[in-house]
């Protein structure tokens, strides 16, 4: 789970050719928005060209933000399946060739690590080797 471009860049650098999923914080679709999330992922990817990655924006229970994320070009979005509009968003995701996730994937929260220190980088590397 990334909270900014520096964390996303660190994850991409550590992942290398194996690639990595860059998951937003819970509900970030509402307070960060898809455009900002896409920009931070793009900045990180520019520093790590060629590293495969999937950007996943968590939209909690907000279908409007999930639809906006799909329109903005995100290929994967998390939306609470209890949301009444879940089926409609799922149809829009399928039409766009994107994935709608009903649960957050398991993730290491990089906001809890100090990636400037060897110990933090080692924890990230260990997570990626799993």
* pLDDT recorded at residue 53: 98
Nearest to 69 by CA among 59, 81, 60: 59
Q: What is the mean pLDDT of the chain?
A: 97
87 in Cβ contact with 68 (< 8 Å): no
Average pLDDT in the 84-106 region? Answer: 98
pLDDT surpassing 90 at residue 12: yes
Give the total number of structural domains in the chain.
1
What are the pLDDT digits (tens) for 29-77? 999 999 999 999 999 999 999 999 999 999 999 999 999 999 999 999 9
Domain ranges, residue 121? 5-129
Backbone angles phi and psi of 125, in degrees to 5: -60, -40
* pLDDT recorded at residue 130: 87
pLDDT surpassing 90 at residue 92: yes
Alpha-carbon distance 41 to 74, whole Å?
11
Average pLDDT in the 63-92 region? Answer: 98
């Amino acid at each position: 789970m990334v909270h900014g471009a520096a964390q996303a860049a660190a994850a991409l650098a550590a992942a290398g050719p194996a690639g990595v999923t860059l998951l937003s914080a819970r509900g970030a679709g509402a307070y960060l928005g898809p455009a900002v999330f896409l920009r931070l992922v793009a900045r990180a990817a520019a520093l790590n060209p060629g590293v495969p990655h999937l950007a996943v924006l968590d939209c909690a229970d907000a279908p409007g933000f999930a639809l906006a994320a799909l329109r903005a070009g995100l290929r994967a979005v998390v939306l609470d399946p209890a949301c009444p509009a879940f089926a409609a968003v799922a149809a829009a995701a399928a039409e766009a060739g994107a994935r709608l996730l009903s649960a957050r994937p398991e993730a290491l929260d990089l906001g809890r690590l100090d990636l400037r220190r060897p110990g933090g980088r080692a924890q990230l590397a260990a997570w990626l080797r799993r």
